[in-house]
Structure 1
């Protein structure tokens, strides 16, 4: 049992693969990190998930759902800021857990992050496809129905066949973005920054102009009467919070780039906390305007922003602009997810817990190119054949597991290694860290049974892989035994 909880030293080391030092290029600063965070956070939450969560769970109180989810994220974000500045390596929560809670817990967290990033990229790709198809349909460019969606979907928790073959647009966008991620993080970050500026501008335009068409009656009742567990009422508000939590995972992706930041001790806290603060304000404003523009039940579509704007003919010009921003904006979410997951594989591979081919870095582009290809292929297959409702919920669960672990890790290190240099410290850690753990566990608790079964199945598969490969090839364990 002791072998399962061995921990790594808390310091950044160059990763070594097959006896050769392999380095990622340090080319990012805090501005790139804030843009990466916004790129990942402002996307599916506004352009896809908001409508479903409001229509099916929280009603106009989706505003409260975003506030509660944002508070839970703020606890975790403070903990991420401390650990990412202290342990500036790729791997995010996986690397932090390895240094605080031990190898087996790190594996569990890393495996949960695989679930998070792969499903996130797939979920957003499906949302991107919905917006793109809607936009093209306006101009008479119709893709055959058999290529427009996944062959299965869920209706009120029941599995339903759609008659389609697969979601072709979702596959194409993942392929295009994977190519960009393959070529370099600096190039990816530059493209991301340009698109982020565009979509934030459009979000602000929707908030400013949409506010003129808000009907206060649409906010009443603010919390609709409860109809079933998780359907309206306060249980629906908290269920909505567990769903929109998916929208906040971007700052986790920021931490995966720590090994490619010029000055991580200063820039990582700025990037993580700055992007979260900006995005939380934008989400709350957008949720208020959308639920005020139309009755919340009408937002249960694949493109709720476009739906709300379409209800007001005077905003037709903004609807077109919003659809273009959604198409571009969701692209950056996919981009950041496809940047993050290969770097987690890279960290796990260089620790020996994954096959070392996943830790290979391209000699010219300085990216984990093989991991990028593998992740992209898997994400494309899931986007082609799985429905968005299933994908989004599972992402939230994997994210919450990682956030709870990071929150616990900060407090553990405060007591086990108090002398470590900390360029950023969580204020009132004795309060913030437990609140981070408890808030994440509370959101996990209210997830439906289906999600628990999926997470359990995923965890079992993960530990089969760990004990059949990772445990035997762990470089840390081999070093201790030699």
Structure 2
């Protein structure tokens, strides 16, 4: 028999964080920054165009649909359970501690740490390219050292508090959006630019289902990260309502930004081999097109925006990860150290420093092994994203299953839409896993199997082993099952 639901009070458990310090605008900014829009569109749009040609905007639009449906699930679950543990708490409440720990804890944090390593490396590479001699910009050692220094600085900002982090993000996000708008306006205004066509949004224009699915899967990654804003719900004004609103708003802003940039780039450069269809151009669309479109000086500003984009996302990753593990500790699923809140800054100081250090160590290790190995590790994130988004969508439907007949709103927003989003995410997971089996997928292969597949599925298998270890280490959490997250298991400081 399922335990009774917690009262729908909209009041989260207090864990010592600074309450009412984040409003709607700051929440939206944190959500957008965590996606790194300038960086994401720069390094993804070209590859989507290689697959789908001028129909790349259609892939961006279709790829957005399961993201929006998942955002509705996050909004409804946060309205009922506004806890900074988000997916960990929700999936545990719906399916029990084993599923919660693996899908809402391990998968999310492992994906985030991989992303942090990548973002630090990208930010460092762009920064050195802007300010350092070519000999340093092309040196893996210099890039790695600079990336570690960036992690140290960003960790210090995140440790000082969410208010400071949000203020920094206003500046960083503003530069990104201004750069993308300037790029788009200049592209549309350029002589010879093709008039955009609504036909580019036609999802049936792809040459078969395979290219269409591949393009959509690429697009899923560039939307990932907006859910980081939910992890600051206990520090947000009206924690049951504002984070959910911010989640939906941030995803819609992302869609508009990406479509605007995609239409502009294709209008200016085309989708053929002389434009975005060129593999070198596809690797970084903004870096390839900005000098000829804006001139060298303004192109440097766009390059700075991409650098800033990576650093801003890195900061938000640190904020979200430390709060998620704070909740896991508060509910007895991680050691007490992760539940410590700094008495002055009111932040999970230990967790913040821990994730900064782990990301630095992972970056150093993977770079030492092989730069190709690090690239494949980043590609494997897509599997983890689809996995935990899909489980969370199902958790929404299961948690509210007895309420779906109460109204049309409840039926669609708590049932139909989250279910469709979950099925789409799990289908993406299955398709990704199938494609990643190919040894030609990515840059490495072991025993005839793609390295990306081994890293992605392997991380989930390691997570299953970690869950077994956690069960032995934290028997109370696993013994009490779904009710374990209903009440705090440790006292506030």
SS at match of 2:345: coil
The question of whether the paired residues in 1 share the 8 Å contact of 2:57 and 2:200 is answered with no
Tell me which of 89, 92, 100 is aligned to 2:83: 89
C-alpha deviation, 1:34, in angstroms: 0.7
C-alpha deviation, 1:218, in angstroms: 12
The question of whether the paired residues in 2 share the 8 Å contact of 1:361 and 1:369 is answered with yes
> 1:44/1:245 Cα in 2 relative to 1: closer, same or farther (>3 Å)?
farther
Structure 1 match to 2:440: none
C-alpha deviation, 1:233, in angstroms: 5.5
Structure 2 match to 1:121: 116
The question of whether the paired residues in 2 share the 8 Å contact of 1:242 and 1:444 is answered with no
Looking at structure 1, the residues matched to 423 and 97 of structure 2 have their Cα atoms a distance apart, in angstroms, of 23
Looking at structure 2, the residues matched to 168 and 48 of structure 1 have their Cα atoms a distance apart, in angstroms, of 23
The question of whether the paired residues in 2 share the 8 Å contact of 1:25 and 1:366 is answered with no
Tell me which of 150, 153, 159 is aligned to 1:182: 159
> 1:259/1:459 Cα in 2 relative to 1: closer, same or farther (>3 Å)?
same
1:468 aligns with 2:469: yes
The question of whether the paired residues in 2 share the 8 Å contact of 1:126 and 1:167 is answered with yes
SS at match of 2:136: coil
> 1:250/1:459 Cα in 2 relative to 1: closer, same or farther (>3 Å)?
closer
The question of whether the paired residues in 1 share the 8 Å contact of 2:60 and 2:255 is answered with yes
1:382 aligns with 2:362: yes
> 1:407/1:469 Cα in 2 relative to 1: closer, same or farther (>3 Å)?
closer
> 1:201/1:13 Cα in 2 relative to 1: closer, same or farther (>3 Å)?
closer
C-alpha deviation, 1:330, in angstroms: 2.0
The question of whether the paired residues in 2 share the 8 Å contact of 1:82 and 1:425 is answered with no
The question of whether the paired residues in 1 share the 8 Å contact of 2:404 and 2:415 is answered with no
Structure 1 residues 353-408: Cα deviation after superposition (integer angstroms, max 9, x where no partner): 22221121111111111111111112123334155632432222212112111211
The question of whether the paired residues in 2 share the 8 Å contact of 1:118 and 1:378 is answered with yes
1:441 aligns with 2:426: yes
Structure 2 match to 1:205: 182
> 1:108/1:378 Cα in 2 relative to 1: closer, same or farther (>3 Å)?
same
Structure 1 match to 2:340: 360
Structure 2 match to 1:147: 140
Structure 1 match to 2:239: 264
Structure 1 match to 2:39: 44
C-alpha deviation, 1:428, in angstroms: 5.0
1:411 aligns with 2:397: yes
The question of whether the paired residues in 1 share the 8 Å contact of 2:59 and 2:219 is answered with yes
The question of whether the paired residues in 2 share the 8 Å contact of 1:346 and 1:358 is answered with yes
Count of residue pairs the alignment pairs up: 444
> 1:336/1:78 Cα in 2 relative to 1: closer, same or farther (>3 Å)?
same
Structure 2 match to 1:335: 315
> 1:291/1:232 Cα in 2 relative to 1: closer, same or farther (>3 Å)?
farther
SS at match of 2:58: helix
The question of whether the paired residues in 2 share the 8 Å contact of 1:6 and 1:102 is answered with no
Tell me which of 377, 384, 389 is aligned to 1:398: 384
The question of whether the paired residues in 1 share the 8 Å contact of 2:161 and 2:345 is answered with yes
Alignment of 1:166-245 (within 5 A): 167-213=144-190, 215-216=193-194, 234-245=209-220
Looking at structure 2, the residues matched to 130 and 54 of structure 1 have their Cα atoms a distance apart, in angstroms, of 24
Looking at structure 2, the residues matched to 442 and 469 of structure 1 have their Cα atoms a distance apart, in angstroms, of 29
Structure 2 match to 1:65: 59
Looking at structure 2, the residues matched to 45 and 471 of structure 1 have their Cα atoms a distance apart, in angstroms, of 40
Looking at structure 2, the residues matched to 96 and 429 of structure 1 have their Cα atoms a distance apart, in angstroms, of 13
The question of whether the paired residues in 2 share the 8 Å contact of 1:182 and 1:367 is answered with yes
Structure 2 match to 1:78: 72
Structure 2 unaligned blocks of 5 or more: 270-274, 438-449
Deviates more, 1:456-465 or 1:177-186: 456-465
1:134 aligns with 2:134: no
C-alpha deviation, 1:300, in angstroms: 4.4
Looking at structure 2, the residues matched to 106 and 217 of structure 1 have their Cα atoms a distance apart, in angstroms, of 49
C-alpha deviation, 1:429, in angstroms: 4.1
Looking at structure 2, the residues matched to 208 and 319 of structure 1 have their Cα atoms a distance apart, in angstroms, of 14
Looking at structure 2, the residues matched to 235 and 168 of structure 1 have their Cα atoms a distance apart, in angstroms, of 40
The question of whether the paired residues in 2 share the 8 Å contact of 1:38 and 1:279 is answered with yes
Looking at structure 2, the residues matched to 468 and 299 of structure 1 have their Cα atoms a distance apart, in angstroms, of 45
Tell me which of 295, 299, 309 is aligned to 2:290: 309
Looking at structure 2, the residues matched to 299 and 280 of structure 1 have their Cα atoms a distance apart, in angstroms, of 25
SS at match of 1:257: helix
> 1:279/1:406 Cα in 2 relative to 1: closer, same or farther (>3 Å)?
same
The question of whether the paired residues in 2 share the 8 Å contact of 1:8 and 1:476 is answered with no
RMSD, aligned α-carbons? 3.2
Structure 1 match to 2:443: none
C-alpha deviation, 1:250, in angstroms: 2.6
Structure 2 match to 1:275: 250
Looking at structure 2, the residues matched to 425 and 305 of structure 1 have their Cα atoms a distance apart, in angstroms, of 42
The question of whether the paired residues in 2 share the 8 Å contact of 1:27 and 1:186 is answered with yes
> 1:277/1:404 Cα in 2 relative to 1: closer, same or farther (>3 Å)?
same
> 1:108/1:439 Cα in 2 relative to 1: closer, same or farther (>3 Å)?
same
Structure 1 match to 2:441: none
Structure 1 residues 32-91: Cα deviation after superposition (integer angstroms, max 9, x where no partner): 111111112224312333334434x33433322211211110110111111112211112
Structure 1 residues 94-142: Cα deviation after superposition (integer angstroms, max 9, x where no partner): 11111112111101211110122111222222322332233235xx464
Give the TM-score normalised by structure 2: 0.81
SS at match of 1:71: helix
Looking at structure 2, the residues matched to 232 and 172 of structure 1 have their Cα atoms a distance apart, in angstroms, of 45
The question of whether the paired residues in 2 share the 8 Å contact of 1:62 and 1:237 is answered with no
